[in-house]
Chain A
């Protein structure tokens, strides 16, 4: 079942990247994303109630479908917009993994800054619309075969891993003496999904790395300013 859906996804990707008529390409995109979603459905779904499951499948389906459409769409502007949708779906999955700060930060950085920069560059560089090099994919069959081999290996690995995993995530039961000890209680301040714990980890354990990342941003900004403008026109 897993490998059948993966094969259907590969056929869909091949249809979607080949230079065919529009209807076949749309059909191929939907077939590819449906195959990927069925392959994901082979794994045990998210825990929790029905709302949790509905939200997970909504976010996963939107992320995968817009990822496929981004890779195969012929217009660069549409590809950038599909990438924005894939970002939103991925951020929904982040939110379901109890990391709301990262979801917000990813939406702000990607959808707010990076997509806008990409759209500006597309506007600056490709004003005549579609070009011939957007119509013809490069070595589609070889890349799809290689990527799907890698995906099949990864999913097979996850499946074997899931078989050997314990069904529940409850650890060994605490003794009465340990349960009465206040230090063995989960602290409100150090819960994994709290922003306070993340801030303590960033500015405690990774303080030097944070400083280096800030310096890297500064250097990249200076470099982008130095590379981009046209010196012959006296911008710099």
Chain B
């Protein structure tokens, strides 16, 4: 390590970490991509400093390839963001957290205890009494209670995409 490259490496590390914070904390899809570009800046500054330290050209060549890949990534990512926006009319990234497994706990919600997930279903053989004040269940329309369940598998099922967007 030569004497004057420590400050460049420190600036590169700081830029990388700032981009990482932006990637995690921002909720706008476009700004997440911008934070990735800031991380790429930090990495390319570090590559150039290492290349100059070792007095060779690999750092500069790698940075040129990084520029190419960053341009491709920005083009593809922004077109994906546009098509996602046309589907939901929002850039909020939390909408797409439905794409994860519905059984897994969410990042901001505590795990529900197991009892509340179980559908409380009465035994079909036992006699049922109508609730006080409610209409009697004439046509045996039982699954009303099933629709009011808190089963996450039922609540979090994504709606089918409308084809005429």
**A31 contacts chain B at the CB level, 8 A cutoff:** no
Q: Of B2, B6, B58, B80, which contacts A227 at CB under 8 A?
A: B80
6 tightest A-B contacts by CB? Answer: A43-B6, A220-B72, A228-B79, A71-B22, A143-B24, A165-B1
Cβ distance A128 to chain B, nearest Cβ, rounded Å = 10
Q: A151 and B17: CB pair below 8 A?
A: yes
CA distance A98 to B51 in the complex (A): 11
Q: Taking CB as reference atom, which chain A residue is nearest B82? A: A228
Q: B71 and A217: CB pair below 8 A?
A: yes
Instruction: Please indicate the chain B residues that have their CB under 8 angstroms from the CB of A213 in the complex.
Output: 65, 68-69
Instruction: Please indicate the chain A residues that have their CB under 8 angstroms from the CB of B21 in the complex.
Output: 13, 17, 71, 143-144, 147
Q: Of A87, A138, A206, which contacts B27 at CB under 8 A?
A: A138
Q: Contact size class for A?
A: 35 or more
**B115 contacts chain A at the CB level, 8 A cutoff:** no
Instruction: Please indicate the chain B residues that have their CB under 8 angstroms from the CB of A76 in the complex.
Output: 28, 30-31
Given the known interface contacts A90-B41, A131-B91, the answer about A167 and B3 at a Cβ–Cβ threshold of 8 Å is: yes
Q: B30 and A125: CB pair below 8 A?
A: yes
Q: Other CB < 8 Å A-B pairs besides A70-B18, A147-B18, A205-B61, 5 of them?
A: A39-B10, A41-B7, A102-B48, A133-B91, A147-B24
Chain B contributes a number of interface residues (CB within 8 A of A) equal to 74
**B14 contacts chain A at the CB level, 8 A cutoff:** yes
Footprint of B on A, CB under 8 Å? Answer: 13, 17, 36, 39-48, 56, 60, 63-64, 67-68, 70-71, 76, 79-80, 83, 86-87, 90, 93-94, 97-99, 101-102, 105-106, 109-110, 113-114, 117-118, 121-122, 124-126, 131, 133-134, 136-140, 143-144, 147-148, 150-151, 154-155, 158-159, 161-162, 165, 167-169, 192, 197-198, 201-202, 205-206, 209, 213, 216-217, 219-221, 223-225, 227-228, 230, 232
Complex interface: stretch among B32-40, B123-131, B133-141, B143-151? B32-40
